[in-house]
Amino acid sequence: MRIKYIILFFIILFSCCNLEYIYKENIYPQNLDNLILDEMPDFGLKGKLKGKIIKTRFPNHRIAIYIYKNGWFNKPYWYPSTTDINPDGSFECDITTDSGDEYATKIAIFVIAKDYKPPLLDGEKELPEKIFKASYYYKIFQRGVLDFSGYKWIISSSKIPIGPGPNYFSSHPSDIFIDEKGRLHLKIVKRNEKWFCSAVILSQNLGYGTYIFYLSSRFDLFDKNTVVGLFTWDNNAPEFNYREIDIEFSKWGNDNFSNSQFVMQPSIYPKNIFRFNIFLDNDKTTHFFKWTAKSILFQSLYGHKIKPENNKDIIAKWVYKGKDVPPTGGERAMINFWLVDGKPPSDEKEYEVIIEKFEFIPE
């Protein structure tokens, strides 16, 4: 009996001595709910990163921050290379202490033990594995440019109302981001008494071919004032109606309108628009247009597929062969989530659309 109690004593003692390790293992890997970002300088502007850590023993932990500008660098400096966590869990760090820091495209935040010395980086292309292993949890944010589905997408943001809408467009990492599954999230949110929308623009021209958008959202349940846009756009081609080819989901502020449409601009001509309704029982749909020199085939499908297994998979299909098919040029694929006439959602709720992936098949 005495031996059993001695063994039990050492088990308890060992457990207490390794409490920090056990705690770490319980919340590692990445626990996104524990790290909240309040402020991040806009791409191209200097400023401080501000946030809050929850569910952490503040006296025992610090923050290690890295930025990526053609390589990874510690922030605020090499010395100091860490940031303290305040008693209320808040933290702030100047991430623009060197020339060009304002153009960093990635920001990594790690919660680490107070006595851990994070690796000092000077332009390395990858974050070392040991910082991930040493962290209790972490977040990596993309800024200015997002890596999505093998392409680079530029975040379109504005602090003054611009089209479409007009609306304010956000660059806040909580409003527009890539999740751990590689999916793109776009939100319509209210912040500081203003409604913000979100948009991304593909960084390259693709030309003729099939533009495929896989969605994972019940957009059929969105408010009548919201618009999901999947389209091409060339700001320098008014003579070709800006090479705008649209798939859009919206009731355009009217409860009696259909909630979806295929459009070949200009949409003032009835023959250039095909409206239909989508009613879903899950969040997976696929939408594409195949652009050739003489025609554009539009199609929406249930599920994540581009070839229907039977006619029941097809939500809608339309072929446009009119005179407004544009030639290729400087167009870019775009995805946006915005408000009709800049009006807030009629139910005053915030909304989020998730794009599972984007795919392009050249003609």
Q: Which of 143, 174, 193 is the last residue of a domain?
A: 143
CB-side exposure of 42: number of CA atoms within 13 Å? Answer: 10
Helix boundaries (H) for the chain: 2-17, 19-27, 129-134
Residue whose C-alpha is closest to residue 63's, from 128, 110, 20: 110
pLDDT at 362 over 90: yes
Residue whose C-alpha is closest to residue 142's, from 34, 67, 36: 67
Q: What are the tens digits of pLDDT across the range 131-190?
A: 999 998 898 888 889 999 999 999 998 889 999 999 999 998 889 999 989 999 999 999
Residues 192 and 59 in one domain: no
Question: Which amino acid is residue 351, in one-letter code?
Answer: Y
Residue 270 three-state SS: helix
Burial of 220 (0-12, 13-18, 19+ CB in 10 A): middle
pLDDT at 26 over 60: no
Q: Which of 86, 115, 143 is the last residue of a domain?
A: 143
Residues 84 and 153 in one domain: no
Q: How many domains does the chain have?
A: 2
- Domain of 91, CATH number, reads 2.60.40
Please state the pTM of the whole predicted model.
0.81
Per-residue pLDDT band for 34 (boundaries 50, 70, 90) equals confident
Residues 65 and 103 in one domain: yes
Domain with 30 in it: 25-143
Residue whose C-alpha is closest to residue 126's, from 137, 144, 140, 146: 140
Q: Which of 143, 172, 195 is the last residue of a domain?
A: 143
- Domain of 224, CATH number, reads 2.60.120.200
Contact 283, 211 (CB under 8 A): no
Residues 154 and 134 in one domain: no
Residue 346 lies in a domain: yes
Residue 195 lies in a domain: yes
